[in-house]
Amino acid sequence: MLIETMADLSLLFYVFLTGLEMDASAFLRVGKKIMGIAVTGILIPMGIGIGLFFLLQKHAHNPAITEGCMFWAVALSITGFPVLTRILADLKLLHSDIGRIAMSVAMLNDMYAWVFIAVLVPVGVNLKTATFSIIAVIFFTLICFYVVRPTIERIIRHQYCSDKEHYNEYYPCFMLIGAMICGCITDAIGAHSIVGAFVFGLIIPKGDMVEELLDRLDCFVPGIMLPIFFASCGMRIDFTKIADSSSWFLVLLVICFACMAKILSSLIACFFFDMRLRDGVALGLLMNTKGILSLIILNVGWDEKILNDQYYVVMVVAILVMTSVVSPIMSAVYRPKSKGYIYGLRTVQRSKLDTELRVLSCVHTTRNVSGIISLLEVSHPTRLSPMTVFALHLVELTGRSSAMLIVHSTRRSAAHNPSRAQADSNLIINAFEAFENDNHLVTVQPLTAMSPYGTMHEDICSLAEDKRVALILLPFHKHLTVDGRMEDENADYRAINLNVLANAPCSVGLFVDRGLAGAVRACGPNDIVMCHFAMLFIGGPDDREALAYACRMVGDPRISLTVVRFLPGKEVVEMESAKNIIEVEEMLSDKQNNKRQNEIDENYINEFRLNTVDNESVRYIEKMVDNGEETVSAISAMDNSYDLYIVGKGTGTTSPLTLGLSEWSENPELGAIGDVLVSSSFALNSSVLVVQKYGSGDHKNEGRSPSFGVRRGEHFSSTIRQRVIGGFRSWQSSKMVLSDNDWPLGNG
């Protein structure tokens, strides 16, 4: 009796939390396809469940009463939404097409399940008074929505504005008492107590109080109290009862057909909604996931003596088998079809200036918004090269998985007192929409990803793959303080950045914001004041990608770009020559690769200079250095008036010009030069953008022609291009030696 009492109490609090996390308005926004799949996935399993019940009834020695077929049917048709989202997250299918369909269908199944519970329990308890009980439950629900909810809203709004501490301290206790009172009311009118607790949780206005309740109870109720309910379910199972009623073969047959019910319904839905057969089977497997609601329905039938021990055990075993086999079967047989064959523009260098540039901008908090938007603003979208920005707000998933859909499915909260995450999301979305309104060549699509920090990079990478973006912009994990130092904001942000850099399906830009927004705002469209950007070029795929992105900014009349190329001095050349003579065989492969990279760099720089020769806002500088120390000295000697430094990370490349810089690196993800620019000991307070090119480690497709400033119809033929560049290089070597002197290309 003690265990049963604690189990009922834990169940009441659990469904109360479920109601708190559920967004009732989301059910009004589902499409016809989702609604059709959900209805098919309920009616067909219900029919199969009723047939299996009577099949077992025919061969059982101790048959149950006829009303038990409805309990079997409902338990078989329900899909456990919280359990399903965890399985999808483990299978990396959470943001796939099949994952989104499965979660939407499971969400509708949850609502249908509560309707069935509200109707089924009064019918099972007493058929004569069932009509009165159902009508009473309907009136109770209407009173809760139209009387109790507005009253709670007014109390919360008044108390939150006047005394927030009092509100945080006592209101959670009142809410728990209200859940118990509502449970007692629905139990008294003939329904189950969990119906009242669920409805009360559903009407609570979403806001800080809901966050407070979830923070306080999210570990205690599911982690400590709910296992008592599962223990009570286990105590009712007696496998010897199965052998007494029928043969084991019949029981296994019933379990197998129960597992096939959802798969059959999904296959039927495939023919009506033009789904692939493979996706239909996968959806059916996912819909077999059962949760606590199925056990609740079976327990109600057992408590009311509608289901005897044999029928209870058979269905509980079937539910356990269905849920336990979903994850291993899905991981073994289902792989989402890769979209890589239609996704070629994975780098900025490949995205020519007459094609659309697609960027995925990630932000954690409102602190990151102004800098990211300013960086996008100076990227200079044009009529021939518009920009599509996917603004992704990254939110940590700390509660149960059912909270994921609530935040994901609502862009704006209609609550008077929205939660902190919703308020931040609204501010972020408003800022990006204002940026879109001010720039008619930019299309912004706000998104929200809610997942644990450990797997957040998977959501970012899969979204980048799905949206076919060329660049992912990530905020640095440190922010600028008032005294000019860089302070850690969240250590988990760094882990996310490292994982994205290692697994990204496109190029990645790591942005260190040191007040770029202020510099951009100071430059109006007709102002003489300009933003001064510097691109530091040492060589390699990442530096070429950084230069390609920097050249997109040149078209903005407010931007002046200085490209500083570091070249090896005489000591480096002599050292490399001596080293190659001594270690010819060991250095042959590296020498050939370095020679090829140097040729690509030289062609890339020459074409950049050729295409920007008439642009007075572009300057080109060459500096001769012999080692990493001289490189740092040359950077520190530059004018400290640059608002943004653009550098390549240097993935997969080794250069004597950065030798020794990585040994004392504080942030290896920024590369050798980027870490120097962000270092607290360095006297620069400019923003920094570190670019990593997709596939920079294998150097694929790096010999292709760059696209700096070349519009459609402006390409030279290969012969003329080679002659012009060759003559340009000959004139350069004969007329001047560029070292530390600035050379404005517009004066050439």
Instruction: State the average pLDDT for the chain.
Output: 77
Q: Which residues pair with 701 in a beta bridge?
A: none
Residue 510 · residue 478 · CB < 8 Å: no
What confidence tier does 472 reach under pLDDT thresholds 50, 70, 90?
Answer: very high
User: What does the pLDDT look like over 227-249, one tens digit per residue?
Assistant: 898 888 888 887 776 655 456 77
Burial 488-520 (b: 16+ CB within 10 A, else e): ebeeebbebbebbbeebbbbbbbbbbbebbebb
Instruction: Please state the rounded mean pLDDT for residues 497-515.
Output: 91
Pairwise CA distance, residues 573 & 584, whole Å: 16
Q: What are the residues whose beta carbons fall under 8 Å from the beta carbon of 676, sequence distance 6 or more?
A: 632, 635, 661, 682
What confidence tier does 361 reach under pLDDT thresholds 50, 70, 90?
Answer: very high
Q: Give the residue from 488, 547, 475 showing the smallest Cα distance to 516.
A: 475
Q: State what percent of residues in the chain have pLDDT above 90.
A: 10
User: What does the pLDDT look like over 393-437, one tens digit per residue?
Assistant: 888 876 544 434 333 333 444 444 455 666 777 888 888 988 888
Q: State what percent of residues in the chain have pLDDT above 70.
A: 77
What confidence tier does 27 reach under pLDDT thresholds 50, 70, 90?
Answer: low
User: What does the pLDDT look like over 158-206, one tens digit per residue?
Assistant: 765 544 444 556 777 888 899 999 999 998 988 888 889 989 988 888 7
Give the pLDDT score at 408: 36
Pick the CATH number of 2-332 from 1.20.1530.20, 3.10.20.30, 3.40.50.720, 1.10.260.40: 1.20.1530.20
Angle of the 402-409 helix axis to the 420-438 helix axis, nearest 10:
30
Pairwise CA distance, residues 499 & 505, whole Å: 12
Name the more confident of 531 and 401: 531
Report residue 23 as tokens. 């967004």
Give the pLDDT score at 678: 85
**Residue 389, phi then psi, degrees to nearest 5:** -115, 125
Report residue 286 as tokens. 């996912």
229: enclosing H helix or E strand: helix 226-236
Instruction: Please state the rounded mean pLDDT for residues 248-256.
Output: 76
Tell whether the model's pLDDT for residue 4 goes beyond 90.
Answer: no
User: What does the pLDDT look like over 733-747, one tens digit per residue?
Assistant: 333 333 333 333 333
User: What does the pLDDT look like over 100-156, one tens digit per residue?
Assistant: 888 888 888 878 888 888 887 787 667 777 888 889 989 999 999 999 999 888 877
Give the pLDDT score at 242: 66
Tell whether the model's pLDDT for residue 711 goes beyond 50.
Answer: no
Instruction: Please state the rounded mean pLDDT for residues 23-42.
Output: 75
Give the pLDDT score at 591: 57
Tell whether the model's pLDDT for residue 692 goes beyond 90.
Answer: yes
Residue 581's region, left for phi above 0, alpha for psi from -120 to 50, else beta, is alpha
Tell whether the model's pLDDT for residue 360 goes beyond 90.
Answer: yes
Pairwise CA distance, residues 325 & 152, whole Å: 44
Using DSSP, state whether 693 is helix, strand or coil: coil
Give the pLDDT score at 590: 55
Tell whether the model's pLDDT for residue 512 goes beyond 80.
Answer: yes
Q: Which residues pair with 472 in a beta bridge?
A: 360, 508
Name the more confident of 163 and 349: 349
- In the numeric block, the tokens 């299309």 are attached to 443
Name the more confident of 521 and 744: 521
What confidence tier does 210 reach under pLDDT thresholds 50, 70, 90?
Answer: confident
Pairwise CA distance, residues 275 & 42, whole Å: 18
Instruction: Please state the rounded mean pLDDT for residues 558-572.
Output: 82
Q: Give the residue from 378, 302, 303 showing the smallest Cα distance to 643.
A: 378
Tell whether the model's pLDDT for residue 341 goes beyond 60.
Answer: no
Instruction: Please state the rounded mean pLDDT for residues 84-105.
Output: 79
> Would you list the domain boundaries of the chain?
2-332, 357-747
What confidence tier does 507 reach under pLDDT thresholds 50, 70, 90?
Answer: very high
Instruction: Kindly indicate whether the domain formed by 357-747 is annotated with CATH number 1.20.140.10.
Output: no
Give the pLDDT score at 592: 64
User: Beta strands 743-744 and 618-625: pairing type?
Assistant: antiparallel
